[in-house]
């Protein structure tokens, strides 16, 4: 649990999660499978997790079949209940856990999380400080302190904490991602671009980071940034096998913006093939999936002089 | 070999060439291994497909096993033949320079059969390409370590009859 081991979700597993959710919600069984998959994919789906998890926990025979796994389920349901603001259920779950594991740090973290869900920031801070006393390098607790600052709306404090945290734990890409998202929300795009560069270095095969980086660069503007953005949109297209509509649109927008900027200078038209291919792929995708909107897209592309 | 394997995914071993679904420009890049972009089109129906064509799976696996056994027997026989040949050489007091031609043929055929069995029996190959349909990444996990509870869940309470029975 400690270091960030989260992997991105492949298309197939995402679809499987939704299918299992549908099946379990309609009483088709597979609830435990769904809960395990949700935990593994770190999906945030509190309402179904709370409903299905409670159903499992309230069924004594199902619970005994889970054996030692049931404590993980208690934890999962407790967090889901907090996310649904069912603090009574969360409190009951944490009570069961603390009876089973007295003095456990993991349960102490859950108790502090309950303070957070209630909005008792001072109590939560105190509880986290207590955990940090015994284990000053508890990554999750450090992250929770950042989250408290964020929940109180104090973004600059959260950025401060995150920067301090990242000086200690540079390999934590979840934290880099969080910092990038906070910077984007504060419209500090240069800093966000730096974070996305770190993320691309750490996990070069995840196309979504390339896409986010390209978008930040496109937002920054300027000829050089636009050209780099176009390259990253192109790498997103390569990594997704051309299935990412956003990246296709990005290539088209970048090239139209570049051609507007370099209108007078009549620069070399080196990558005109890329944008026309992207436009073609876009039109084809719209024809296949939303034929009613195809005319709109064709008109827009014509306005950008791409097709 | 940087290949992942999963048991019993599809009824037959993957064809050794990349399928037509893969764009030509990708198969040219050297760092990618030419892997069949496995039948993503039939993914929703995979369970059904597996069940209906399980005899085919069994027969392909069976052939693989039989070929592997024949290959192994050939290798053993080649070893035995070489030992005998050397014994004959000792009697005729000649120098051993290389094994006889038929033993070499046996070795090569046995090697080929064993390799065939090794590739075909375990399971089908999985794609290692990041853009193939089963590996294509569509979303990042929710950043749960930084989750905060200031959201609409506060205003929309879930059904009140959910309760943990202790």
pLDDT digits (tens, 9 = 90+) for A198-231: 999 999 989 999 999 999 999 999 999 999 999 9
A52: closest chain B residue by CA: B162
Q: Which residues are within 8 A (CB) of A53 and not within 5 positions of it... i.e. 6 or more apart?
A: A31, A35, A73, A76, A77, A80
Sort out which chain B residues have CB atoms less than 8 A from A6's CB and list them.
Answer: 140-141
Does any CB of chain A come closer than 8 Å to the CB of residue B144?
yes
Q: Break chain B into its structural domains and give their ranges.
A: 65-121
* Contact call for residues A33 and A19 (beta carbons, < 8 A): no
How many CA atoms lie less than 13 Å away from B143 in the CB half-sphere?
17
State residue A102 phi and psi, 5-degree precision. Answer: -70, 135
Angle between helices A69-83 and A87-100 (to 10 degrees): 150
* Contact call for residues B83 and B48 (beta carbons, < 8 A): no
* Contact call for residues A278 and A237 (beta carbons, < 8 A): yes
Is A192 a domain residue?
A: no
B139 three-state secondary structure: strand
Is A129 a domain residue?
A: no
Higher pLDDT, A190 or B46: A190
Average of per-residue pLDDT across A262-278:
72
Higher pLDDT, B128 or A56: A56
Is A164 a domain residue?
A: no
pLDDT digits (tens, 9 = 90+) for A153-203: 999 999 999 999 999 999 998 999 999 999 999 999 999 999 999 999 999
Higher pLDDT, B6 or B106: B106
Sort out which chain A residues have CB atoms less than 8 A from B143's CB and list them.
Answer: 174, 177-178
Is A140 a domain residue?
A: no
- Judge whether residue B27 has pLDDT over 60: no
Domain span at A69: 1-97
Instruction: Tell me how many domains chain A contains.
Output: 2
Q: A151-184 burial, b if ≥16 CB within 10 A, otherwise e?
A: beeeeeebbebbeebbeebeebbbbbbbbbebbb
Q: Which residues are within 8 A (CB) of A27 and not within 5 positions of it... i.e. 6 or more apart?
A: none
- Judge whether residue A92 has pLDDT over 80: yes
Of A41, A65, A97, which one is at a domain's C-terminal end? Answer: A97
- Judge whether residue A127 has pLDDT over 50: yes
What tokens were used for B24? Answer: 């030509």
Minimum mean pLDDT range among A24-33, A240-249, B70-79: A24-33
pLDDT of residue B61: 74
Only one residue has tokens 């940034």, namely A225
* pLDDT, chain A, mean: 89
Pairing between strand A9-10 and B137-139?
antiparallel
* Distance of alpha carbon A91 from the chain centroid: 27
Please report which confidence band the pLDDT of residue A28 belongs to, taking 50, 70 and 90 as the band edges. confident
Does any CB of chain A come closer than 8 Å to the CB of residue B165?
yes
Higher pLDDT, B53 or A151: A151
Containing B166, the helix (H) or strand (E) segment is none
- Judge whether residue A107 has pLDDT over 80: yes
Of A97, A122, A148, which one is at a domain's C-terminal end? Answer: A97
Measure CB to CB from residue A9 to each of B138, B158, B164 and give the nearest one. Answer: B138
What tokens were used for A89? Answer: 């259920």
Measure CB to CB from residue B164 to each of A57, A139, A178 and give the nearest one. Answer: A57
Of A81, A97, A113, which one is at a domain's C-terminal end? Answer: A97
In this structure, what DSSP letter does residue A205 have? T
Is A75 a domain residue?
A: yes
In this structure, what DSSP letter does residue A113 have? H
State the distance between the two ends of chain B, measured CA to CA, in whole angstroms: 52
Contact check, Cβ <8 Å, A86/B158: yes
* Distance of alpha carbon B36 from the chain centroid: 11
Q: How far is A173 from chain B (nearest CA, A)?
A: 10
Q: Which residues are within 8 A (CB) of B92 and not within 5 positions of it... i.e. 6 or more apart?
A: none
Is A93 a domain residue?
A: yes
Distance of alpha carbon B32 from alpha carbon B29, whole angstroms: 6
- ipTM for the predicted complex: 0.76
Average of per-residue pLDDT across A30-46:
90
Minimum mean pLDDT range among A109-123, A134-148, B82-96: B82-96
Of residues A234, A236, A237, the one with CA closest to residue A255: A234
Number of A–B residue contacts, CB under 8 Å? 130
State residue B6 phi and psi, 5-degree precision. Answer: -135, 140
- Judge whether residue B22 has pLDDT over 60: no
User: What is the dihedral angle through the alpha carbons of A98, A99, A104, A110, rounded to the nearest 10 degrees?
Assistant: -10
* Contact call for residues A201 and A180 (beta carbons, < 8 A): no
């Amino acid at each position: 649990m400690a270091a960030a081991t989260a992997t991105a979700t492949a298309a197939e597993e995402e679809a499987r999660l939704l299918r299992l959710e549908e099946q379990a919600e309609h009483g088709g069984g597979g609830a435990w499978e769904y809960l395990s998959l949700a935990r593994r994919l770190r999906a945030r789906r509190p309402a179904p997790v709370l409903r299905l998890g409670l159903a499992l926990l309230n069924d004594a025979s199902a619970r005994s079949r889970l054996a030692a796994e049931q404590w993980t389920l208690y934890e999962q349901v407790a967090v889901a209940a907090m996310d649904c603001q069912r603090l009574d259920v969360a409190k009951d779950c944490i009570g069961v856990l603390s009876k089973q594991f007295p003095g456990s740090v993991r349960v102490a973290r859950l108790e502090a999380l309950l303070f957070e869900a209630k909005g008792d920031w001072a109590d939560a801070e105190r509880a986290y400080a207590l955990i940090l006393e015994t284990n000053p390098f508890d990554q999750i607790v450090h992250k929770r302190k950042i989250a408290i600052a964020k929940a109180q709306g104090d973004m600059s404090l959260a950025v401060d904490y995150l920067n301090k945290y990242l000086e200690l734990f540079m390999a934590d890409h979840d934290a880099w991602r969080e910092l990038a998202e906070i910077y984007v929300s504060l419209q500090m795009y240069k800093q966000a671009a730096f974070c996305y560069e770190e993320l691309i270095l750490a996990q070069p095969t995840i196309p979504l980071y390339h896409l986010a980086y390209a978008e930040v660069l496109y937002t920054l503007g300027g000829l050089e940034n636009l050209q780099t953005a176009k390259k990253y949109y192109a790498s997103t297209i390569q990594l997704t096998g051309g299935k990412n509509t956003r990246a296709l649109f990005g290539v088209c927008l970048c090239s139209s913006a570049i051609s507007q900027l370099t209108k007078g200078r009549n620069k070399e038209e080196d990558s005109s093939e890329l944008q026309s291919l992207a436009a073609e792929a876009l039109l084809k995708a719209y024809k296949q999936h939303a034929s009613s909107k195809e005319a709109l897209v064709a008109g827009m592309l014509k306005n950008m002089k791409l097709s | 070999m940087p290949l992942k394997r999963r048991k019993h995914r599809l009824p037959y071993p993957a064809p050794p060439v990349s399928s037509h679904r893969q764009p030509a420009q990708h198969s040219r890049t050297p760092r990618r291994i030419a892997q069949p972009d496995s039948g993503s089109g039939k993914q929703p129906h995979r369970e059904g497909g597996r069940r209906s064509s399980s005899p085919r799976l069994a027969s392909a696996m069976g052939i693989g096993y039989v070929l592997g056994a024949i290959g192994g027997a050939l290798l053993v026989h080649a070893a035995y033949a070489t030992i005998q040949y050397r014994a004959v050489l000792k009697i005729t007091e000649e120098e051993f320079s290389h094994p006889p031609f038929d033993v070499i043929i046996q070795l090569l055929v046995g090697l080929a059969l064993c390799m065939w069995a090794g590739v075909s029996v375990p399971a089908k190959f999985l794609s290692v390409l990041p853009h193939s349909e089963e590996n294509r990444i569509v979303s990042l996990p929710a950043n749960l370590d930084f989750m905060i509870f200031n959201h609409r869940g506060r205003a929309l309470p879930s059904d009140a009859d959910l309760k943990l029975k202790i």
